[in-house]
Amino acid sequence: MEPIIQDIQINKQLFGPDFIWGVSTSAFQTEGSCTIDDKGESIWDVFAAKKGKILNGDSPAVACDFYNQYQKDIDIVKQLNIPNFRFSISWPRIFPNGTGDISQAGIKYYNRVIDYCIQQGIEPWITLYHWDLPQALEFKGGWTNREIIDWFSSYVAACAEHFGDRVKHWMIMNEPAVFTGAGYFMGIHAPGRTGIKQFLPAIHHVILSMVAGAKVLRSILPSAKIGTTFSCAHIEPFSDKPKDISAAKRTDALINRLFIEPVLGLGYPINDLPVLKGIEKYYEPGDEDNMNFDFDFIGIQNYTREIVKYSFLTPYINASLVKAEERNVPITVMKWEIYPAAIYNMIKKFNEYPQIKKIIITENGAAFHDTLNDCKVEDVNRTEYLQANLQQVLKAKNEGCKIDGYFIWTLTDNFEWAEGYHPRFGLVYIDFNTQQRIIKSSGHWYGDFLK
């Protein structure tokens, strides 16, 4: 692959002394130990055990063994001069049955992780929900059951009460558009449900739960910094034909606006995506007042752009993506286009919402074909990808956008959901047979950059 860009001149100082630098991970993708210390099953434990759901039949049972090797990985975070570490808490480690009795083993484990971060001078940033719903709650309907608002609120309260004396930065949910769309509409992610009748109630209950969780946090931890994260992709029409332009607008409403606008008090983007009108049947009195929250920051997670054209055959949205590999553009192992300007465009787009106080890039990264040679991984393409994206972040910042931080996805190669262990996103190479950690050249670059 040709280098993404040439001769980048960029350094940490250009972003200012208050810019937030970090790295992101998630519990299910790294911890393993899925049945240790009375942890309950999650929907991903169940989904991954089904034949044909995960590439190559990969199992998350061990993953990166972060459950046992968290000190080693946090030591690497420190070694790389990364001041902020974003990780998630596994709901079924805290409540094995989703509700009811709290697991003291789960509480003690996350206390150990938090305490070790602080001991090493690293600020813990916690994501409360990164897709691993307790399977016990999925049996009751999961996100399609309105009772989940109370279940989630109780879980958030337990985390706030046990960890809030040390954790100052919280994210309520990770990428709701992805876990509802892939899990409750397309069925390619856990819990594997399909159809609009699953998708619409899940959307509404996720919005209400996100806000309810944020209000619980605010009530228990009034001085905490509370945010939530959204996936986003820069959308462009395939041509200047009106049908393609309209298709791109509907796709943008689905991918980029569906969750952020309700929590900002703007309601669902029904005018641009009429299928959302079906959500109204799931409304109850007072819902409009319980759908928005004044977040301290919004996390946006961008990896690529998408080109969209009109499609008569695609139900509900009449739009389809033009695959990057068919457009003769540089791509990652995930077959996502390498297009650094996407992150600039998304910062600009979210900056246009006056309700947003602060924007942080809570995920950005790339998967490439990393190879281990002589105990080294020279991942030049990843370093160039990160540099190119940071150049675009700096451009947005210099133009006055409220962009205040940048977290790389991810620290270590991990279990990448339905793609198993094939895509490697990490700054650190994992030999999944031996659990050996090897810092890649991109990790060394980031460490030098942050010095």
HEC string of 273-295 equals CHHHHHHHHHCCCCHHHHCCCCC
**What's the rounded Cα separation, in Å, for the pair 179 and 156?**
19
User: Positive or negative, the Cα torsion across 41, 43, 44, 50?
Assistant: positive
**What's the rounded Cα separation, in Å, for the pair 393 and 360?**
10
**What's the rounded Cα separation, in Å, for the pair 24 and 291?**
27
Contact 380, 429 (CB under 8 A): no
HEC string of 135-162 equals HHHHCCCHHHCCCHHHHHHHHHHHHHHH
Q: 286: burial class by Cβ within 10 Å (0-12, 13-18, 19+)?
A: exposed
Query: Which pair of tokens denotes residue 91?
Result: 């709901």
**What's the rounded Cα separation, in Å, for the pair 236 and 233?**
10
Length of the chain, in residues: 451
3-state secondary structure (DSSP) of residue 188 = coil
Q: Number of C-alpha atoms within 13 angstroms, CB side, residue 67?
A: 23
> Which residues face 430 on adjacent strands?
437
- Does 337 participate in catalysis according to the annotation? no
- Does 138 participate in catalysis according to the annotation? no
From residue 312, give the alpha-carbon distance in Å to each of 187, 240, 308, 315, 317.
Answer: 22, 17, 13, 8, 9
3-state secondary structure (DSSP) of residue 95 = coil
Torsion of CA 70, 71, 77, 78, to 10 degrees: 160
3-state secondary structure (DSSP) of residue 110 = helix
If you search the block for the tokens 């970090």, which residue do you land on? 22
Residue type present at position 326: E
**Which one of the listed residues 41, 138, 236, 363 is annotated catalytic?**
363
Contact 162, 111 (CB under 8 A): yes
Q: 51: burial class by Cβ within 10 Å (0-12, 13-18, 19+)?
A: exposed
**Which one of the listed residues 31, 41, 138, 175 is annotated catalytic?**
175
Catalytic residue numbers?
175, 363
